[in-house]
Amino acid sequence: LRDERGRALRMAGANWDATRLAQAREELERSNRELDDFTYTASHDLKEPLRGIASFAQYLQQDYAERLDDEGRLMIQKIRDQARRMETLIAELLHISRMSRGGMAREDTDLNAVLHDILESLDFSLKEKAVDLRIPRPLPRAHCDRIRVGELFRNLITNAIKYNDKTDRWIEIGCEVINLDRVFYVRDNGIGIKPEHHARVFSLFERLHKRDAYGGGTGVGLTIVQKIVQLHGGRIWIESRPGEGTTFHFTLPERNLHEQEQDARA
């Protein structure tokens, strides 16, 4: 707004935009919270009846097996399998909503130690699939939730092992600077993801490669990975060519200035 001589009085437009933006952000956060609460309550309430279905099916299988023909027995087994699958999905939904509700417990974290523990627990799969693991340089420290970030690495590495048909499989884990941003990556030379599917893979229950050849899965792993990155205020994106391989890039917060100063003094 300007007076009659053209002097600036007030930035009305800018104020209005900032207020509207803050309101929209608040609204979005509130509806996200409501969605998390709903997911939590719904998943929690579904557990009980599901447990009932599973235990009745188990009871039928154990005590009525002789009275059933082969088809009947097969059907009961299918009910049990599906109930187990649903139990896993509900547990994962609960896990995601607990994570959102609880937030991230951030601390100064040595990512090399986190990675070391994860790789140790995946040692069997890595050896079984003869994966050549490459870590060109030590990873920098981050200000993050070490348990969740371990989970993030575990999900990405498990996928990198799983979605790879080649005999000379390799996985590279590292960190590089892209456009002044410190970007972590997990790269594989596996089956790849078509460009039109890049956004979809982060959706809940989305699975592109459903064939048993790649092992079972629930389509929740990458939703969890994306959630962990976002709850740290970071970004995640994919670079991939079908048949050549995939790279998952993500950012994580650096240590805050206060901690860096403390380190410098020590």
- Interacting residues with ligand ADP (CB under 6 A): 155, 159-160, 163, 188, 190-193, 201, 206-209, 217-223, 246
Q: Which residue is closest to ligand ADP by CB?
A: 217
Distance CA 205, CA 222 (A): 9
Q: How would DSSP label each residue in 53-104? A: HHHHHHHHHHHSGGGS-HHHHHHHHHHHHHHHHHHHHHHHHHHHHHHHHH--
Among 112, 47, 108, 129, CA closest to 83: 47
Instruction: Give 143 or 207: the residue with its C-beta nearer to ligand ADP.
Output: 207
**CB 80 to ligand ADP: min, Å:** 21
**CB 163 to ligand ADP: min, Å:** 3
Helix, strand, coil percent values for the chain (each to nearest 5): 55, 15, 30
**CB 164 to ligand ADP: min, Å:** 7
Phi, psi of 202 (to 5 degrees): -85, -10
Instruction: Give 141 or 159: the residue with its C-beta nearer to ligand ADP.
Output: 159
Instruction: Give 147 or 208: the residue with its C-beta nearer to ligand ADP.
Output: 208
Instruction: Give 76 or 228: the residue with its C-beta nearer to ligand ADP.
Output: 228
**CB 265 to ligand ADP: min, Å:** 42
Phi, psi of 106 (to 5 degrees): -80, 140
Instruction: Give 76 or 96: the residue with its C-beta nearer to ligand ADP.
Output: 96
**CB 236 to ligand ADP: min, Å:** 12
Phi-psi region of 205 (alpha: psi -120 to 50; beta: other; left: phi over 0): left
